[in-house]
Amino acid sequence: MFDEKKSLETIAFFKAHYHYDTTYMEEMLEASPQSYEVFENFLPMATFANKAPLDALSVARITAIVNEDCGTCAQLYVDLALEAGLDKEIVKEVVFNEGKNLPAPLKDLYDFTLCVSNNESIDASLYAKMSEHYSKEVLVEISLAIAATKVFPTIKRVLNLAQSCSLIKIKV
């Protein structure tokens, strides 16, 4: 059963812990608790990890969210990756250097993620590299990670709260 009070407490914790603007969540909950409940049930998809390595999931997530031009969400994804133990140099490469100096599997993943995020054709050789680097199970997890990044900026834009998505200087 949905607990609106618990949701408010979770939002408040998230806001304080990550210094993240949760206005869109608060407005969703106030305007449509049922819709917020659906959103809340989606959230595990955004952080799901089972077999995929931390570096791969983080590169996919950060690449995709930066591509969405969502500054505060990009900072959040950086903070989450660093909190989980991702090497700062990997984060810096993704955020500031277009992944140019990433190890080959992660550079391929960076390029692949951009193609997916931009709905571009993916060259067969890039698909082949992805299949060499990652199992089908890991690719499924990566697909969820990339897809999830579209949800947050979309909701903010629809609710006219995209000003919080403005480009910011990301701190690593």
What does the pLDDT look like over 11-66, one tens digit per residue? 999 999 999 999 999 999 999 999 999 999 999 999 999 999 999 999 999 999 99
Tell me the pLDDT tens digit for each residue of 87-104.
999 999 999 999 999 999
pLDDT above 70: percentage of residues in the chain: 96
Q: What CATH number does residue 60 fall under?
A: 1.20.1290.10
| Domain membership flag for residue 26 | no
Better-scored residue on pLDDT, 36 or 172: 36
Give the range among 2-11, 23-32, 106-115, 157-166 with minimum mean pLDDT.
157-166
Please state the domain count of the chain. 1
- Is residue 77 included in any domain, yes or no? yes
SS3 annotation, the chain: CCCHHHHHHHHHHHHHHHCCCCHHHHHHHHHCHHHHHHHHHHHHHHHCCCCCCHHHHHHHHHHHHHHCCCHHHHHHHHHHHHHHCCCHHHHHHHHHCCCCCCCHHHHHHHHHHHHHHCCCCCCHHHHHHHHHHCCHHHHHHHHHHHHHCCHHHHHHHHCCCHHHHCCCCCCC
Q: Confirm whether 121 is domain-assigned.
A: yes
Q: Is residue 111 part of a domain?
A: yes
- Asked whether residue 71 is domain-assigned, the answer is yes
Q: Find the domain containing 91 and state its range.
A: 54-151
Assess if residue 100 is contained within a domain.
Answer: yes
In-domain check, residue 3: no
pTM: 0.93
The band of 172, judged by pLDDT with boundaries at 50, 70 and 90, is confident
Is 40 a member of any domain?
A: no
